[in-house]
Amino acid sequence: MSVNKLTDEEKNLLLRLSYIDLPTSYENSKDSPNLERVVSDLALMPDYAEDETVIAIQDYLQKPNNNLADLKFAGYENNNPNFKDLMDHKSVSGFVGYAFEDREGNGVALFRGSESLVNPGHLATDWKSNVEAAMGIDIKQQREADDFYQRYLGELSGERLVMGHSKGGNLTSHVFVNNLDDNVKSYVINAAPIYWWDLSDEQKEALKGDRNSFIVFELDPVSQLGYVPYVDKVVSTKPRESMGEVLNPFYAHGLANVGDFDSEGNYERCKTGSNWARDGVNYVLAGVIFGVSMSTPVLMKKASDYVRNVAPHVISAAAKGLTKAANWLRDESIKIITKLQNVTRELKSNLNSFFNDMIHKAKSLVGGVAAFFAGGSAAAAEPVIKVDIGRLRYYAERLQNLKRRTAHLNDMVDSLYWEAGLLGLDNVLRADLRTSAIDTRITQSAAYLNRTAELMQRDEAYLLNRAGSVR
């Protein structure tokens, strides 16, 4: 089955599925059940036994020659906040992704949108980052969506399709424009728009092209929160049957409120492209969002994020002795930050000093390490090596627990960038780099202990075997 053959009705059902939590056994699972088995597992759960989406997909799978029957589960990641994940220091960004494949090597990734404001956890994850994404600020869910795509679709030999609704549409557009060389395709419904003004010309043309489908339901408000000169279809919704539905401004945003589909699974009542009324509203709202995105606090946040992202590359170049490359990165970074906001002469000087200090410390650190190894003293050879393999594995596990705590600390440090701004960036970045370095060393140390345990166990078995043969 080609993913291009998925109908509008089938894509709608898959996106409705993206709002359902799969059983925890599906995370990191190596099994590949088909979609019918996945939905059957959901139907056995008390929360979903009478769920409209589960029932709708089960009914659809009974139709002959449907394309969903060929899909097999490939991957699932749920980073919604819960007590267990907080204790394990796992990511609680709110990102949720699903991956399916078919027997021909084609793949589909689904990204969930924002969830209920009633849950305080979603308020802290989804809705705060909704505002940031609308302003063009890089958010963690976007990075995790791209990682998810690379993990489950990046190496496929066939076609790749990414899909999303609401905020999931924003994540989908982010993945799409950043992986254009993969010939990936995108399909979104009522998507929160990606920030238009930071995109390259190639990315803008791709959003307007045939590989991207931007579907909106008539009167949907969310898809207006950004500049969208690439609407493909405006689809009618079901009639509003109650006063609550009439007064609900987000009625048209719901996936289940779509109008009818024809016998081929296409939208029955829709218009190609946008219309003058929608475009007029879009120009006004997009103008407001652009104005806010150019305010000083937002620009300070963008500048802080940029320096934070480029700093490790400057350090890496300096550490490798590539002084010219490090200096070039420093100069280009200052130029970009100068364009982002009216940087004072004093602040520009402080930024220059900050980068120079970073380059100097990186070079000094590498020089010290090299001197240590060059003049290193060789340990005296021991006639007998006594190693407790069980203790090696025990300490490796302790390090893994410490790594999870360090990752949580890293996330907490990352949250300080918004408050610090450029003037306080050096202190936050110094802490960020230190915790990141610790995390790297912990990973290396744990891998070393585990590898040592494996080698010792293997050599011990070999020696015992040789000793037995000598007897």
Q: What is the number of domains present in the chain?
A: 2
Let me know whether 301 and 394 are in one domain: yes
Question: What span, in angstroms and rounded, lies between the C-alpha atoms of 97 and 108?
Answer: 11
Residues 321 and 237 in one domain: no
The tokens of 49 are what?
Answer: 């036994």
pLDDT of the residue at 231: 96
Mean pLDDT along residues 446-465? 78
Is 471 a domain residue? no
Do 44 and 119 fall within a single domain? yes
Question: 315 with 269, same domain?
Answer: no
Q: How confident is the model at residue 398 (pLDDT cuts 50, 70, 90)?
A: confident
85: CB partners within 8 A, 6+ apart: 79, 91, 92
The verdict on pTM exceeding 0.75 is no
* Terminal alpha carbon distance of the chain: 63
Rounded to the nearest 5 degrees, what angle is found at the Cα of 285, between the Cα atoms of 283 and 291? 100
Is residue 470 one of the residues assigned to a domain? no
Torsion on CA atoms 311, 315, 321, 323, rounded to nearest 10? 30
Higher local confidence (pLDDT), 434 or 44: 44
- φ, ψ of residue 443 to 5 degrees: the values are -60, -45
Does residue 12 sit within a domain? yes
Question: Which range is least confidently modeled, 288-292, 299-303, 414-418?
Answer: 414-418
Apex CA 209: angle with CA 206 and CA 213, to 5°?
Answer: 100
Same structural domain for residues 233 and 347? no
Q: CB within 8 A of 385, min separation 6: which ones?
A: none
Residue 17 has φ and ψ, to the nearest 5°, of -60, -30
**What residues contact 321, with CB distance under 8 A and at least 6 apart?**
363, 366
Q: Is 21 exposed, middle or buried (0-12, 13-18, 19+ CB in 10 A)?
A: middle
* Pairwise CA distance, residues 219 & 215, whole Å: 12
Please state, for a pLDDT cut of 70, what percent of the chain lies above it: 70
Cα 422 vs. chain centroid, distance in angstroms? 25
Confidence of residue 183 (pLDDT cuts 50, 70, 90): confident
Residue 25's pLDDT is 85
Grade residue 84 by pLDDT with cuts at 50, 70 and 90.
Answer: low
The confidence band for 86, taking pLDDT boundaries of 50, 70 and 90, is very low
Classify residue 247: in a domain, yes or no.
yes
Does some domain include residue 468? no
Pick the last residue of a domain from 293, 315, 332.
293
Residue 201 confidence class, pLDDT cut points 50, 70, 90? very high
User: 235 and 149: one domain?
Assistant: yes
Give the residue from 272, 293, 314 where a domain finishes: 293
In this structure, is residue 219 part of a structural domain? yes
The side-by-side arrangement of strands in the sheet containing 72-78 is 72-78, 96-101, 107-111, 160-165, 185-189, 212-217, 233-235, 270-272
441 versus 229: the higher-pLDDT residue is 229
Residues 316 and 424 in one domain: yes
- Do 108 and 39 reside in the same domain of the chain? yes
What is the span of the domain harbouring residue 190?
3-293
Based on the domain organization, do 423 and 320 belong to the same domain?
yes
Please report the DSSP string for 39-74 in residue order. Answer: HHHHHTSTTTTT-HHHHHHHHHHTSTT-SGGG-EEE
- Domain annotation covers residue 91: yes
Same domain, residue pair 404 and 432: yes
Query: Which comes out higher in pLDDT, residue 405 or 259?
Result: 259
Same domain, 151 and 29: yes
What is the phi/psi pair of residue 374, to 5°?
-65, -40
Q: Which has more pLDDT, 432 or 134?
A: 134
CA distance 1 to 19: 25
Specify whether 235 is located in the same domain as 265: yes
What is the average per-residue pLDDT within 363-385?
Answer: 53
Average pLDDT rounded to a whole number, residues 187-212: 95
Q: Report if residue 405 sits inside a domain.
A: yes
Domain end point (choices 293, 319, 354): 293
